Amino acid sequence: MKRHIHSGRYTTVNEEDIVVFIIGMRVNKWHAVHHWLPVFTAMPPMIKELYANKEGLGFLSMDSYFGLRTTLMIQYWKSMDDLLAYARGKKHLKAWRNFNRKAADNQSVGFYHESYQLTGKKYESVYTNMPFHGLSNALSKIPITKHSNGARKRLGDVRSRRLK
């Protein structure tokens, strides 16, 4: 899928509190497909649900990365309460119970997640000649100007014309 490249330098508006959620799995034993494949295939239905109900769930955006053994997904949420509410939801609880029943007690597959609550004006970003990616998929974008050229400046007040 070809994504539009946005020329020049831009950053994201950093006025809102957000949550960054990192989740992934690691295949420890390739031959134990029956253990790691159910973990791997449990995620797409949840991602479909998140994108279908973004506003109602507080989900903003995500990016996925696939390595030789480890997959990584970075998700952006409006709040920790939204993330925790989703974790207690029907679809996630079913996947979590299946994981615990099938894979938690063996070393064939590993699973991890980390959650970070970011306070407004205490995170920054910069993108140059990039498709919208990471925070720029989740938040409003603004061009970098002399007032926002540098991480220290972006951590301050960077209100400006928003990109469309």
100 and 80, same structural domain?
A: yes
Rounded to 5°, the CA angle 136-130-127 comes to 60
Model confidence over 13-57: pLDDT tens digits?
999 999 999 999 999 999 999 888 988 888 999 999 999 999 999
Q: Pairing state of beta strands 70-77 and 127-130?
A: unpaired
82 and 41, same structural domain?
A: yes
Q: What is the pTM of this model?
A: 0.87
pLDDT band at residue 1, thresholds of 50, 70 and 90?
low
pLDDT of residue 152: 86
135 and 79, same structural domain?
A: no
Residue 161: pLDDT above 50? no
79 and 140, same structural domain?
A: no
Q: Residue 147: which residues within 8 A CB-CB, separation 6 or more?
A: 153, 158, 160
38 and 90, same structural domain?
A: yes
Of the candidates 137, 138, 113, 115, the one whose C-alpha atom is nearest the C-alpha of residue 16 is 138
Phi/psi at 14 (5° precision): -120, 35
Tokens of 67: 């390595």
Q: Residue 30: which residues within 8 A CB-CB, separation 6 or more?
A: none
- In-domain check, residue 160: no
pLDDT of residue 3: 82
Report the C-alpha gap between 87 and 116 in whole angstroms.
15
69 and 148, same structural domain?
A: no
Instruction: Pick the most confident of 18-22, 28-32, 91-95, 107-111.
Output: 18-22
- In-domain check, residue 142: yes
86 and 39, same structural domain?
A: yes
133 and 108, same structural domain?
A: no
Spacing of C-alpha 88 from chain mean position: 18
pLDDT band at residue 160, thresholds of 50, 70 and 90?
very low
82 and 29, same structural domain?
A: yes
- In-domain check, residue 114: yes
52 and 131, same structural domain?
A: no
End-to-end CA distance of the chain: 21
The least confident of 32-41, 108-117, 140-149, 152-161 is 152-161
The sign one gets for the Cα dihedral 91, 64, 158, 161 is negative
Unique residue bearing structure tokens 């390595």: 67
Q: How far is residue 85 from each of residues 23, 40, 88, 92, 102, measured CA to CA in Å?
A: 16, 22, 5, 10, 24
pLDDT of residue 156: 75
- In-domain check, residue 163: no
**Could you list the residue range(s) of the whole structural domain that residue 130 is in?**
6-14+125-154
- Give the count of domains, the chain: 2
